[in-house]
Amino acid sequence: MGKGRLEAFSDGVIAIIITIMVLELKTPGGFTLQALGALAPTSFMYAFSFIYVGIYWNNHHHLMHAVRRINGAVLWANLHLLFWLSLVPFTTRWMGENLDHTWPVVAYGVSLLMPSIAFGILVQVLIHANGRDSALARAIGGDLKGYASTLIYVAGIALTFWRCWAGIACYVLVALIWLVPDRRIERNAPLPTPEA
Amino acid sequence: MGKGRLEAFSDGVIAIIITIMVLELKTPGGFTLQALGALAPTSFMYAFSFIYVGIYWNNHHHLMHAVRRINGAVLWANLHLLFWLSLVPFTTRWMGENLDHTWPVVAYGVSLLMPSIAFGILVQVLIHANGRDSALARAIGGDLKGYASTLIYVAGIALTFWRCWAGIACYVLVALIWLVPDRRIERNAPLPTPEA
Amino acid sequence: MGKGRLEAFSDGVIAIIITIMVLELKTPGGFTLQALGALAPTSFMYAFSFIYVGIYWNNHHHLMHAVRRINGAVLWANLHLLFWLSLVPFTTRWMGENLDHTWPVVAYGVSLLMPSIAFGILVQVLIHANGRDSALARAIGGDLKGYASTLIYVAGIALTFWRCWAGIACYVLVALIWLVPDRRIERNAPLPTPEA
Amino acid sequence: MGKGRLEAFSDGVIAIIITIMVLELKTPGGFTLQALGALAPTSFMYAFSFIYVGIYWNNHHHLMHAVRRINGAVLWANLHLLFWLSLVPFTTRWMGENLDHTWPVVAYGVSLLMPSIAFGILVQVLIHANGRDSALARAIGGDLKGYASTLIYVAGIALTFWRCWAGIACYVLVALIWLVPDRRIERNAPLPTPEA
């Protein structure tokens, strides 16, 4: 029950984050295809951030599914994750207007890096609350993908100071890593069926 | 439970999409009935899109009700549907300002067509996850209405290049098709009552 | 379960309606108490609309609590109610800027009248779905307060054409009627306790 | 169940309040680090208000967890709390633009003080509904932290008329008091585990 409300609140916040970004899409300044085309960079950024926040929702869903026990520290670690995610619409907007400038791309990278660190902290706090022998701890295992993402984000932010496209390539790489379904966790802790 | 959270997240996103469109309604530039009347096209578009998104929520509700089993692919197919739905407020706004221009009406048609395709994909992914013999597969049947809608949207988009009103007429036709309750599904899989 | 999702979606939409109105509150054009005071009419309207939408949430909560059975018609009657409620932020904004002009006050009255009619339709559709002998039908009884509100709204809209304050007084009267808890329904169908 | 929907609605409203504040963060007027740095005061305010609203969600979560019985008065006391919380994005925006002026800081303090009073009222109404001997009444105990926060807010508002930073220091102090997990309540009414 406590867990249910944590999930419901997180669902609400993530649903709002993922949806309000469309409010940033300004109406084209005209009624031609060219006017619409001028929005391509912002639209690309919107789709990109939608996928990112979607990845976090999916991972949050898989993670919480294996959780048995939560406490006050979990509530705060979860709010910490939501805080960093809530900055994504802001950095999305800034980078969408400045795709070829260093600092906006760096800021976007940081707004992807921080939730990845916060997710790692949430995992640790949950393992602490559920015990090292819990189904959760076993299901997470080494969390290779999590550590890899954090490292690639750091590399992407560093590379942006050299070339913007190099940083963006790193960010895209992380998205690709996660878009491949995490079969390992799903196999260990399959989503429940109503019959079960 | 996994299904429950998928529904809760979809409810959240759809609730936001359907509601934030009213933020686009600008205050009339005056305090007369004429000032209010000048908002008629935007208001008409708002009501229209509200009905469309409402149709998707209803269909999503009916569809998920018959679902027994979800997996990672279902999560992504569902997010894919939500992504296209999230563009409706944007195209609504653009078409509301340009009711008699080709590209805005085409863009609106595309923002209705894509969720209809995404809904079809979600149905297939769900049938794959639940089995060809499942209650879901039987309840969906041939999904005639789904295929018809997709075709009429394509026709509407094509006709818009000839006359805008012809495209709009096609869009309205699809809404009418769905506003008639889908008695077939409801008969096969009636909404549960607490007694049951 | 079906009922649960209807409630969750309605909660989401009503939560957004009641909250986004604060986005309309513009920052005072300065840092003095006078600058803040200039926002008094808008703030008053915000509080007023918050109470109205709150009343609808409360009544929706009480109504759905007694419901055993829903169907496709209920889904649409509910969406119809949510549609009219979703216009409240728009009319609130317009009236907040034009408290002493006829049409904005009329528009606000209409945006209160329509949900009251829609709520009455939802009640009838629910009684139809649950049967004339159901606990719901008995709990609702004559729905005197509902009919009275609708009539007072009509009177308020009419009186606005004579004097704005007369219309506003009628609107306030309805709020007062509902702020007094509906002891009759609560007595017949008390909110459940976890022990029960 | 009744309690579940109250929680769901509160979660929705609080999720929106905590998230829409990021819409207020304006895109930097340029693509340099300096342009981003100019947003420091607003960003600081955003993080600060995020923590405050997060504290209320946590306390609401802990409070409702111990609740067995709700009634009409609880619904209104809860809406009253949500109303004051909903003003936080507004005062956050105003103070973010005027960190060194008395009235914006006072207004922010009032927007923190009022929810703290409303929370106290909600606690009393809940104790009244659940009985002086209930688990809730025992779990709350003297509610020392609640009374202390209210007093420190009052002191902070008063001190702001002397020096803005003194008021801000008081507000920060309350946040620190609550960021330390409320072990007392958690010990008396531990969050449930699915096994239980």
For residue A100, pLDDT beyond 80: yes
What SS3 state is found at A100? coil
- Higher pLDDT: B72 or B111? It is B111
For residue C111, pLDDT beyond 80: yes
- In the prediction, which pLDDT does C121 show? 92
What average pLDDT score do residues C40-63 get?
A: 88
* Chain B environment of C5 (Cβ under 8 Å): 7, 11, 61
Distance between CA atoms of residues B100 and B76, nearest Å: 36
What average pLDDT score do residues B166-176 get?
A: 91
Count the helices and strands in chain C (H runs, E runs): 10, 0
Of D1, D86, D107, which has the smallest distance from its Cβ to C22's Cβ?
Answer: D86
For residue B131, pLDDT beyond 80: no
Mean pLDDT of chain A: 83
- Chain segment D93-108, per-residue pLDDT in tens: 888 888 888 999 999 9
For residue B192, pLDDT beyond 50: no
For residue C80, pLDDT beyond 90: yes
Chain A residues with a Cβ under 8 Å from any Cβ in chain D: 1-3, 5-6, 8-9, 12-13, 15-17, 20, 23, 68-73, 75-76, 79, 82-83, 86-87, 89-90, 93-94, 97-98, 101-104, 107
Q: Comparing A105-114, B92-101, B134-143, C2-11, which segment has the lowest mean pLDDT?
A: B134-143
B182 pLDDT tier (thresholds 50, 70, 90): low
Spell out the residues 6+ positions from residue A43 whose beta carbon is closer than 8 angstroms to its own.
A25
- Residue C77 amino acid letter: A
C-beta separation of C79 from C134 below 8 A:
no
Chain A residues with a Cβ under 8 Å from any Cβ in chain B: 7-8, 11-12, 14-16, 18-20, 22-23, 25, 27-28, 31-33, 35-36, 47, 50, 54, 57-58, 61, 65, 179, 181-183, 186, 191-195
- Higher pLDDT: A137 or D11? It is D11
Of B1, B8, B90, which has the smallest distance from its Cβ to A22's Cβ?
Answer: B90
- Residue C146 amino acid letter: G
- In the prediction, which pLDDT does D131 show? 77
Residue C181: phi and psi, rounded to 5, are -55, 140
Spell out the residues 6+ positions from residue A190 whose beta carbon is closer than 8 angstroms to its own.
none
Distance between CA atoms of residues B59 and D36, nearest Å: 44
- In the prediction, which pLDDT does B86 show? 93
- In the prediction, which pLDDT does B196 show? 32
The tokens of B10 are what?
């979809």
Of B5, B17, B102, which has the smallest distance from its Cβ to A19's Cβ?
Answer: B17
C194 pLDDT tier (thresholds 50, 70, 90): very low
- Higher pLDDT: D20 or C154? It is C154
- Higher pLDDT: A118 or C129? It is A118
CB contact under 8 A, D58 and A73: no
Please give the model's pTM, rounded to 2 decimal places. Answer: 0.88
Length of chain A: 196
Q: Of the spans A52-66, A104-118, D57-71, which averages the highest pLDDT?
A: A104-118
- Higher pLDDT: B123 or A130? It is B123
- In the prediction, which pLDDT does C109 show? 94
- Higher pLDDT: C173 or D65? It is C173
% of chain A beyond a pLDDT of 70: 88
For residue D196, pLDDT beyond 50: no
C-beta separation of C86 from C53 below 8 A:
no
Q: Looking at residue C123, what DSSP letter applies?
A: H
- Higher pLDDT: A177 or A1? It is A177
* Cα radius of gyration (chain D): 18
- In the prediction, which pLDDT does C142 show? 64
- In the prediction, which pLDDT does B1 show? 45
Closest residue in chain A to residue D194, using alpha carbons only: A68
Q: Comparing A140-149, B132-141, D105-114, which segment has the lowest mean pLDDT?
A: B132-141
- In the prediction, which pLDDT does A114 show? 95
- In the prediction, which pLDDT does C1 show? 45
The tokens of C23 are what?
């986005």
For residue D129, pLDDT beyond 90: no
DSSP H stretches of helix in C131-182: 135-140, 144-160, 164-179
Distance between CA atoms of residues A156 and A52, nearest Å: 15
Closest residue in chain C to residue B29, using alpha carbons only: C94
- Chain segment B11-36, per-residue pLDDT in tens: 999 999 998 888 878 888 887 888 88
CB contact under 8 A, D31 and A71: no
Q: Comparing A60-74, B138-152, D118-132, which segment has the lowest mean pLDDT?
A: B138-152
Of B3, B5, B13, which has the smallest distance from its Cβ to A19's Cβ?
Answer: B13
Count the helices and strands in chain A (H runs, E runs): 10, 0
Nearest chain C CA: its distance from B118 CA (Å): 21
Mean pLDDT of chain D: 83
A5 pLDDT tier (thresholds 50, 70, 90): confident
B191 pLDDT tier (thresholds 50, 70, 90): very low
- In the prediction, which pLDDT does A158 show? 94
Interface chains of chain D (3 or more CB pairs under 8 Å): A, C
CB contact under 8 A, D31 and A75: no
Q: Distances from the Cα of A38 to the Cαs of A34, A93, A97, C39, D152, in angstroms?
A: 6, 15, 11, 38, 52
For residue B50, pLDDT beyond 50: yes
C-beta separation of D92 from D110 below 8 A:
no
The tokens of A67 are what?
């959780």
- In the prediction, which pLDDT does B37 show? 84
- In the prediction, which pLDDT does D116 show? 92
* Chain C environment of D103 (Cβ under 8 Å): 31-33, 35-36
- Chain segment A75-92, per-residue pLDDT in tens: 889 999 999 999 999 999
- Chain segment D141-162, per-residue pLDDT in tens: 667 788 888 999 999 999 999 9
C-beta separation of A80 from A112 below 8 A:
no
Q: Comparing A169-173, B124-128, C88-92, which segment has the lowest mean pLDDT?
A: B124-128
Q: Distances from the Cα of D166 to the Cαs of B14, D103, D173, in angstroms?
A: 44, 14, 11
- In the prediction, which pLDDT does A181 show? 58
- In the prediction, which pLDDT does B59 show? 86
Greatest Cα pair distance in chain C:
61
The Cβ of residue B2 has, within 10 Å, a number of other Cβ atoms equal to 19
- In the prediction, which pLDDT does C49 show? 93
HSE (CB half, 13 Å, CA atoms) of A152? Answer: 20
CB contact under 8 A, C68 and B195: yes
- In the prediction, which pLDDT does D182 show? 54
- In the prediction, which pLDDT does D1 show? 45
Nearest chain B CA: its distance from C73 CA (Å): 7
- In the prediction, which pLDDT does D128 show? 85
> Which runs of E-coded beta strand occur in chain A?
none
What average pLDDT score do residues A50-60 get?
A: 90
- ipTM confidence score: 0.85
A33 pLDDT tier (thresholds 50, 70, 90): confident
For residue C32, pLDDT beyond 60: yes
HSE (CB half, 13 Å, CA atoms) of C81? Answer: 27
C141 pLDDT tier (thresholds 50, 70, 90): low
